[in-house]
């Protein structure tokens, strides 16, 4: 789910991109809705267009409800420093906080009142690795072993061949798992382990798995990490470079600030490195849609995209309503 810092977008970007031929001539401006207050940066959206975000620079987590209401997520009693990891389709937010004993704890905030609740887990350090839209939470213990939690039930993630407890960092509702920290990264899908193709000399960063498709970036750190290209791996582990708008594929541009998917869609961004001017994008498998000036953070699977965009001379969190 998705996880990069906000990018300042030039106010005159739309006109500049249009004159440069980077926006399709037939594409009108999408209907948009401003989310939250100043500084609100969306990080996730569910199927009902409930949006999870944070306020910069404070880092305070907030939820924008479907009717536009705003809920601020508070620390559970006796904890400090809460952070959010994901949002499922029920509206539940999962994240972490530091207990009075200094150990990381797992927290959920449930719709509609979003009061914090600590998960009842065995003693020790627990970290949230990922949350899928169906409500499953991927947890990692301090010993680097992984577990899946859902509705009060906890199950260990076991290796497909040895049965040994295994590390995982991403999951999806189809039961696919990814260890993005392995070299190369590994996808478990359909009862088998698949190594994800990693081009020689390039750094690989995996950011999401959705319905067996894995999304991320590849970067050339010998060239300072630029350009960073958005990519998709299929269920066989083969890497596909995701298409970019015409004229943005050269070394003057970098993508992606982050990919976050839903169903078979993903959201991302391409930015001009010299100016910071950015275009929000979505992909459905390998089909590209240019959303408009701004940065795309996540997609809801029904054509809605959340991110940041130029609004009234500033940068605000927005929902684009009919894309992807």
Domains for the chain: give ranges and CATH numbers.
13-320 (2.120.10.30)
The pLDDT-based confidence of 171 (bands split at 50, 70, 90) is: very high
Determine the pLDDT at residue 12: 33
At 262 the pLDDT is 65
pLDDT at 36 (0 to 100): 96
Most confident residue range from 116-120, 208-212, 258-262, 299-303:
116-120
Alpha-carbon distances, residue 198 vs 69, 231, 258 (angstroms): 43, 11, 18
Q: Does the pLDDT at position 137 exceed 80?
A: yes
Is the pLDDT higher at 322 or at 310?
310
Distance CA 304, CA 285 (A): 16
Structure tokens at 304: 């809605």
Containing 179, the helix (H) or strand (E) segment is strand 177-179
Of the ranges 193-202, 246-255, 289-298, which one carries the lowest mean pLDDT score? 246-255
- What whole-number percentage of the chain has pLDDT above 70? 82
The average confidence (pLDDT) of the chain is: 83
Structure confidence at residue 222 (pLDDT):
66
Spell out the long-range contacts of 135-140 with Cβ–Cβ below 8 A and sequence spacing 24 or more: 135/88, 135/89, 135/90, 135/92, 136/171, 136/173, 137/86, 137/94, 137/106, 138/168, 138/169, 138/170, 138/171, 138/177, 139/106, 140/167, 140/169
Of the candidates 236, 234, 177, 225, which has an alpha carbon nearest to the alpha carbon of residue 201?
225
Q: Over 80: is that where the pLDDT of 168 sits?
A: yes
pTM for the full predicted model: 0.85
**pLDDT tens string 20-66:** 333 333 344 558 899 999 999 999 999 899 999 999 999 999 999 99
Q: What's residue 22's pLDDT?
A: 39
């Amino acid at each position: 789910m998705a996880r990069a810092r906000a990018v300042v977008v030039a106010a005159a970007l739309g006109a500049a991109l249009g004159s440069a031929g980077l926006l399709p001539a037939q594409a009108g401006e999408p209907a948009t809705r401003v989310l939250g207050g100043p500084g609100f940066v969306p990080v996730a959206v569910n199927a009902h267009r409930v949006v999870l975000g944070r306020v910069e620079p404070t880092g305070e987590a907030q939820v924008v409800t479907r009717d536009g209401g705003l809920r601020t997520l508070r620390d559970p009693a006796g904890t400090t420093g809460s952070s959010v990891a994901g949002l499922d389709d029920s509206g539940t937010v999962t994240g972490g906080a530091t207990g009075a004993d200094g150990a990381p704890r797992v927290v959920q905030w449930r719709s509609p009142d979003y009061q914090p609740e600590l998960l009842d887990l065995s003693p020790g350090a627990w970290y949230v690795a990922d949350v899928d839209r169906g409500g499953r939470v991927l947890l990692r213990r301090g010993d680097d072993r992984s577990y899946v939690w859902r509705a009060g039930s906890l199950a260990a993630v076991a290796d497909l061949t040895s049965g040994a407890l295994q590390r995982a960092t991403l999951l999806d509702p189809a039961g696919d798992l990814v260890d993005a920290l392995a070299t190369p990264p590994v996808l478990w899908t359909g009862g088998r382990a698949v190594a994800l193709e990693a081009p020689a000399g390039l750094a690989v960063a995996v950011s999401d798995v959705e319905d067996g498709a894995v999304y991320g970036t590849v970067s050339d750190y010998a060239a300072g990490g630029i350009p960073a290209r958005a990519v998709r791996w299929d269920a066989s582990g083969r890497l596909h470079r995701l298409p970019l708008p015409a004229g943005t594929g050269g070394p003057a541009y970098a993508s992606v600030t982050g990919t976050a998917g839903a169903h078979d869609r993903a959201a991302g961004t391409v930015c001009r490195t010299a100016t910071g001017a950015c275009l929000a994008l979505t992909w459905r498998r390998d089909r590209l849609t240019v959303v408009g000036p701004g940065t795309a953070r996540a997609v809801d699977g029904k054509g809605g995209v959340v991110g940041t965009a130029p609004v009234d001379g500033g940068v605000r969190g927005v929902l684009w309503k009919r894309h992807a």
